[in-house]
Structure 1
Amino acid sequence: MIETGSLIRSLSGRPAARNFHTFVINEIGQSIVTGKFPVGSVLASDAVMMETYGVSRTVLREALKTLEAKGLVEARPKVGTRVSPRSRWNFLDPQVLAWFFDAPPDTAFYESLFRVRAALETPIIELSARRRTAEHVRLMKYWCHQMEIAGESLEQFGLACLEVHGVLAESAQDPLLRSVIGVVELTLALALTRDRAMPAEDYRAQSAALFVRLTSAVENGEAEEALRIFAACRELDRGQTM
């Protein structure tokens, strides 16, 4: 399972610790999502993939089982392992979402991401304004400050912003709503690496300022104001992404 924040950390170019199992999953999964291995195509034989990725049959088979559980491939007797139709992919899987960072730009897909964010973030904010504790507020203020002092570090800013989203989800005290974090991480990574609506430094400054105001609204239990500010945060990310 991918660790929350892994995609944001990758923006700094720091190499991740190599694990053969996750390495093969990432190589094949990213190749499928980015279109290198098209939908309907049959993957190479075990022998070829073992040589390509430098792994044992056991590691390869376990990786393919993981990808099958994510809906990306299906094994068929006498046919091999075939790339599944996109309708079967688990798009809320954080690892699958992370692979879309390197995929060709897709406006329709980005629109879908922001629709899902809006659908899940609205109840999060409403619940957070009612259920937050003093500790939740303290953590939100801390991470907002980290956003403000991140400077040119995309990693520090992105991780701090993701932490604010995480605290909000925790404060809502609804475990299923937390599934939005994978969607948020992808849209945030896309926004941080594009200069669409405004220069990157202006985007980060405006985003930090909005989150400070959001924290204040949640702390004061002002659900409607918090929703309005959070919608502005989302539109800011959308403007940078599309």
Structure 2
Amino acid sequence: MGLLQTVITGQRSRSNHAHIVDSLGLDIVSGTIPSGSTLPGDTELMARFGVSRTVLREALKTLAAKGLIVPRARIGTRVTSRESWSLFDADILNWHFEAGINDAFLVHLSEIRLAFEPYAAGLAAERASAADVAHLERLALDMGKDGHSAESHAMADLKFHLAVAEASRNPFMRSVGNLIEAALVGVFNLSSPTADISEVHRASASHHRIVEAIRARDAAAARAAMEAVIITGVERVRLALRRRQ
């Protein structure tokens, strides 16, 4: 299950392994267990989660693979600094949202999206097939349909952006899907356009401009249209954050 769908449905894996990873991961990302500190010993963690040493060790291996912890002989398991974390990882992105995001997090997320997605749109303008363009047009139309809930609109938005990444014909572009999902989680949680039908239609129209530029094989226009979509979404979420604060 993807990051956005997990947030929308609230469903998570109920396995002991997943529960340990989720609990400790959130504690680390939120700062409850700070960087540089040492995790409690195996005996204490086994008692806390009610699991065997084997299950605990597998969960710790998962957290280590994400860059959150590193085992040290005769010292214990140390929590690493943020610079070591795999920030593109879906779980780590989700833990940031659960812990509470701020303007700085949104700026950093939007900057990396702006580094990838407009270029992907430009590549799509050069490489997309007629079938790709038709698919993107259907997705843009779907975004503008009446009756969208915040959940269904967010999923429609995600499908469009992932389809652009696919149409770029660069496999590395599809790998940034977690970043796109994380950004749309922010929109879903803080500020969905579905409260105003005119905003839904404007969002659809802005995505149509990306499609039209791709159809016209105008890479520069496709990049500009994608940049405008990303910046508009970020500004909407920042405004919602200020209202909350």
TM > 0.5: yes
In the other structure, the counterpart of 2:97 is 101
Secondary structure of residue in 2 paired with 1:241: helix
* Correspondences of 1:125-164 after superposition (within 5 Å): 125-149=121-145, 151-164=147-160
Find 1:30's aligned residue among 26, 29, 34. 26
Residues of 2 paired with 1:192 and 1:67: CA distance?
27
The answer as to 2:15 corresponding to 1:19 is yes
Opposite residue 210 of structure 2, the aligned amino acid is: L
Find 2:46's aligned residue among 33, 43, 50. 50
For residue 200 of structure 1, report the CA deviation from its aligned partner.
Answer: 4.7
Q: What per-residue deviation string (whole Å, max 9, x for no partner) do you get for residues 104-152 of structure 1?
A: 3332232111111111113201110010012222322232233223734
Find 2:206's aligned residue among 203, 210, 213. 210
With over 3 angstroms needed to count, the CA separation of the structure-2 counterparts of 1:11 and 1:146, relative to structure 1, is farther
In the other structure, the counterpart of 1:85 is 81
Q: What per-residue deviation string (whole Å, max 9, x for no partner) do you get for residues 205-241 of structure 1?
A: 4322211221222122122222221111101111122
For residue 39 of structure 1, report the CA deviation from its aligned partner.
Answer: 0.9
The answer as to 2:56 corresponding to 1:60 is yes
Residues of 1 paired with 2:182 and 2:32: CA distance?
20
**Normalised TM-score (structure 2):** 0.87
* Correspondences of 1:105-120 after superposition (within 5 Å): 105-120=101-116
Residues of 1 paired with 2:211 and 2:188: CA distance?
21
- The number of aligned residues is 237
Secondary structure of residue in 2 paired with 1:82: strand
Find 2:118's aligned residue among 109, 118, 122. 122
Residues of 2 paired with 1:47 and 1:124: CA distance?
49
Residues of 2 paired with 1:11 and 1:65: CA distance?
25
Q: Percent identity?
A: 32
With over 3 angstroms needed to count, the CA separation of the structure-2 counterparts of 1:81 and 1:234, relative to structure 1, is same
Secondary structure of residue in 2 paired with 1:193: helix
- Worse-superposed segment, 205-214 or 23-32: 205-214
Residues of 1 paired with 2:119 and 2:125: CA distance?
10
Residues of 2 paired with 1:192 and 1:236: CA distance?
14
* Correspondences of 1:159-198 after superposition (within 5 Å): 159-195=155-191
Secondary structure of residue in 1 paired with 2:190: coil
Residues of 1 paired with 2:3 and 2:146: CA distance?
17
**Any stretches of 5+ residues in structure 1 without a counterpart?**
none
Residues of 1 paired with 2:3 and 2:200: CA distance?
18
Residues of 1 paired with 2:162 and 2:8: CA distance?
21
**Normalised TM-score (structure 1):** 0.88
With over 3 angstroms needed to count, the CA separation of the structure-2 counterparts of 1:203 and 1:56, relative to structure 1, is farther
- What CA RMSD, in Å, does the superposition of the two structures yield over aligned residues? 2.2
Opposite residue 191 of structure 1, the aligned amino acid is: V
2:121 touches 2:210 (CA, 8 Å); kept in 1? Answer: no
